[in-house]
């Protein structure tokens, strides 16, 4: 199976670091699960300019980027999927300055796979063509992907989150649940 994975929020857990940077540098306390652009801006926690500054600090500075841990279970699951013969690749919405730190992060965690970055506001539709499954922690990136067989919205999602999801998108709370879903027959995914 060809499986695409988002990087931030699926493999790398930058949310805690974004939350810490917001508190330390800007005096703003936001729980990590609300440190995504959509929630931080809509909730009135931060403005666009402050959020962009945080992203630059966390994703574009090598010394900060080295502090980003893997999502729990991600490294082991990636190794298991590769061992089973699945082809994995990262498809991320990182911009070029942040993309430069993805491969070194993967190397530090002994993970090797192709990386495609479409830019911060880019669409992932073309990069996801030919995939059997794609996993992202942001619904905005999953909705346009009609050609991908199985779509998974990864991780905890702040409430209110609709109980239904468009395009057959399935929610998975963590890597353990994702591994179960990937092993299940397509009709049950």
State how far the Cα of 151 lies from the Cα of 171, in Å rounded to an integer.
Answer: 9
Higher pLDDT, 189 or 87: 87
Which H helix or E strand runs over 182? helix 175-183
Summarised one tens digit per residue, pLDDT across range 36-81 is 888 888 889 999 999 999 999 999 888 988 899 999 999 999 999 9
State how far the Cα of 136 lies from the Cα of 158, in Å rounded to an integer.
Answer: 15
Summarised one tens digit per residue, pLDDT across range 135-185 is 999 888 999 998 888 999 998 776 655 566 777 899 999 999 999 999 887
Query: Where residue 33 falls among pLDDT bands split at 50, 70, 90?
Result: confident
Query: Where residue 187 falls among pLDDT bands split at 50, 70, 90?
Result: low
Q: Which of 13-17, 95-99, 120-124 has the highest mean pLDDT?
A: 13-17
- In this structure, the strands spanning 133-136 and 2-5 are parallel
Domains in the chain and their CATH numbers?
2-12+70-188 (3.40.50.1000), 15-65 (no CATH)
Closest CA to 113 of 139, 92, 141: 92
What Rg do the C-alpha atoms of the chain give, in angstroms? 16
The per-residue pLDDT for 161 is 56
Instruction: State the chain's mean pLDDT as an integer.
Output: 90
For the whole model, what pTM was predicted? 0.90
State how far the Cα of 90 lies from the Cα of 77, in Å rounded to an integer.
Answer: 14
């Amino acid at each position: 199976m060809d499986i695409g994975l988002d990087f931030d929020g699926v493999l790398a857990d930058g949310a805690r670091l974004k939350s810490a940077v917001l508190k330390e540098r800007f005096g703003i306390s936001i729980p990590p699960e609300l440190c995504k652009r959509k929630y931080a801006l809509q909730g009135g926690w931060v403005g666009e300019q402050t959020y962009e500054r945080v992203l630059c600090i966390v994703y574009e500075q090598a010394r900060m980027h080295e502090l980003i841990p893997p999502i729990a279970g991600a490294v082991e699951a990636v190794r298991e999927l590769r061992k089973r013969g699945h082809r994995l690749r990262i498809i991320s919405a990182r911009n070029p300055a942040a993309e430069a730190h993805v491969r070194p992060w993967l190397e530090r965690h002994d993970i090797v796979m192709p990386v495609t970055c479409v830019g911060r506001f880019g669409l992932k539709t073309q990069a996801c063509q030919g995939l059997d499954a794609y996993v992202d922690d942001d619904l905005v990136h999953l909705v346009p992907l009609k050609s991908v067989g199985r779509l998974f919205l990864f991780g905890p999602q702040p409430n209110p989150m609709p109980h239904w999801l468009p395009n057959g998108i399935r929610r998975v709370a963590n890597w353990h649940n994702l591994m179960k879903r990937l092993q299940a027959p397509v009709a049950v995914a």
